[in-house]
Amino acid sequence: MRILYDSKERMYKDPFGTLTPNQNCTLHIHIPSSVQATKVMVQFNHQDGTPSHTVPMEYQIKRGAYDIYQGKFSLAHTGLYFYYFYITTRTGGFRLFKQGNDTNMEAGDCWQLSCIPADFTTPDWAKGATIYQIFPDRFHKAGRCDLTGKLEPYTVHQDWYEEVSWRPTPEGVVLNNDFFGGNFRGITEKMDYIASLGTTILYLNPISKSFSSHRYDTGDYKTPDPMLGTEADFAAMCKAAHARGIRVILDGVYSHTGSNSLYFDKERTFGGKGAYCTQNSPYSGWYTFYQWPDNYNSWWGFDTLPTVNKMDKSFIEYIITGPDSVLEHWLKLGADGFRLDVVDELPNEFVLLLKKRLRELKPDALLIGEVWEDASNKEAYGIRRRYFVDGVLDSCMNYPYRTAILNYMKERDGGQGLKETVMSIVENYPPQVLSCNMNMLGTHDTPRILTALVDDFDGTWEEKSKRHLSRSQRDLALERLQMAAFLQYTLPGSPSLYYGDEAGMEGYKDPFNRRTYPWGREDRELLAFFQQLGQLRKGQEPLRLGDISFFEAGDGKLGFTRSVNGQTLRIYVNHSMDAWQVPVGRVLFGHHIHTLAPTWLSLSPMGFCVTREE
């Protein structure tokens, strides 16, 4: 018989999930009577491993073959804590750690518990949102582009459907300086289409004046790239979005700038006042030169991306605190928040300052962080990040969900792993963050989801440019994508759709995941599916804000409920080889389902549905 404790179940830990300072919490542990425990304690450690405090647990009652012990405690200060149990018997003592779903004496990890600020709030409009992500140059072009002031050299494709430029220079560098002319007016022109997907948040990759098509090499933080349009064009786009109930989120790239920028000016494009040109530059303190001017700290060794000293006073004033800071500049023009690129490369102090100023400027602004792991315990460069225990990030890019869904769809997991990943995030994240979490299947940094679902090919650029899914591969990928997207739209958080995934685009990683949207060549059936998903979510509060509880996970089958305000939806997903008979409810959305009898439905393999309990 095992000792029983599961922090995800209220019978063992109440309340579930994170705590706030001085909030009471009760733990119960079930110990086989044969163990003959004489003393039980819970030892809490700070995130750095140093002991915090000990909570004694008292014997409560005997239930069957188990003795139940109870401990009550509260945490005085915000922070990340870890805990384990220490059990004393007549013959000695041992520590009890977590291992998978079970406990196994002294093997495994500690349980985790975050204490978050009591006043930590996230914007109501962002909870349970539906996000649409656009790579601006490749979405839609309206009118002619103004190339005045465009950083050179560059090329402009004359045909919207041409292949992206991928060939490296003789030195082996891919310049990413080919453009198709997607712009703000093009996005505005397609705003009704964006809204038809149920979109409530529009997230744009960088829009500032830059050399490259991806624009992560910022040239001027406060000036839109001339190919995208003017500040007036941007403001008009935001106005059109807001008129349809859509908020606009911009990419904040504050870890580095471009070498061809107002601030560094390696090419002397901006008048020779950058840190590379003169040591008396007003931006000299922004960068670290090992030997000026050619030996400097750069992002991951790319000399076109000099790294910024984020805590430099003048940089903080320019980006965050000063008059007409970068934050204030774009918020005044209509932006509703920011997504922080490589947030783990920004000091905790910098992010905290940014969040404070963001909320001063716009009390309901949203701050999203690019985090590829569980953000609640993220450690980067030897420093534990305080995204939640300082109430800093409102949302994160939820890559753990993406990995778990891919593993499930590609039959690397029968469902138990996906359940564990989901419930781990649900437990570790504050509920106000969980509902805002950016749940994506594809982004500008990953292969197109249609390709990722069936093809792990990792060859040369030339091979990738010529390789496309076969008809059979595409049919399988489309079937899998519908199920994967169904999960994405029914799990807790905010589903994020990368432009063109709904149209059936395929492609490997950068630059092949950044092809132009195929206007007029969309997969109309897939597009209609995503529009229906978006409207389903928009109309069902439990899918946006409900708690989750799994009742099935394994052998390819997943079943869970989403409940809020007395409403409960039941979600069934069948990725097994056999039909699955489930109780009939009011079917709100379904695929490959058949009515067997008045009280039963049959889900065929690859079938899924949402039903409402009547």
Q: Name the token pair of 254.
A: 């504050």
Active-site annotation holder among 225, 233, 336, 341 = 341
Torsion of CA 497, 502, 505, 511, to 10 degrees: -20
In this structure, which amino acid lies at residue 303? D
Q: Nearest 5°: phi and psi at 362? A: -150, 100
Given the structure tokens 């579930």, which residue do they identify? 16
Residue 359: its H or E element: helix 348-361
**Cα–Cα distances in Å, from 311 out to 169, 318, 348, 501?**
36, 11, 10, 38
Give the whole-angstrom CA distance, residue 4 versus residue 66: 9
Give the whole-angstrom CA distance, residue 253 versus residue 264: 15
Active-site annotation holder among 137, 233, 265, 370 = 370
Give the whole-angstrom CA distance, residue 60 versus residue 41: 14
Please provide the distance, in angstroms rounded to a whole number, between the alpha carbons at the two ends of the chain.
40
294-299 LR contacts (CB < 8 Å, sep 24+): 298/256, 299/255, 299/256
Q: Nearest Cα to 151, choosing from 254, 224, 244?
A: 224
370 is catalytic: yes
341 is catalytic: yes
The string of DSSP letters for 12-72 reads TEES-S-B-TT--EEEEEEEEGGG-EEEEEEEEEETTS-EEEEEEEEEEEEETTEEEEEEE
- 3-class DSSP state of 125: helix
Residues annotated as part of the active site: 341, 370
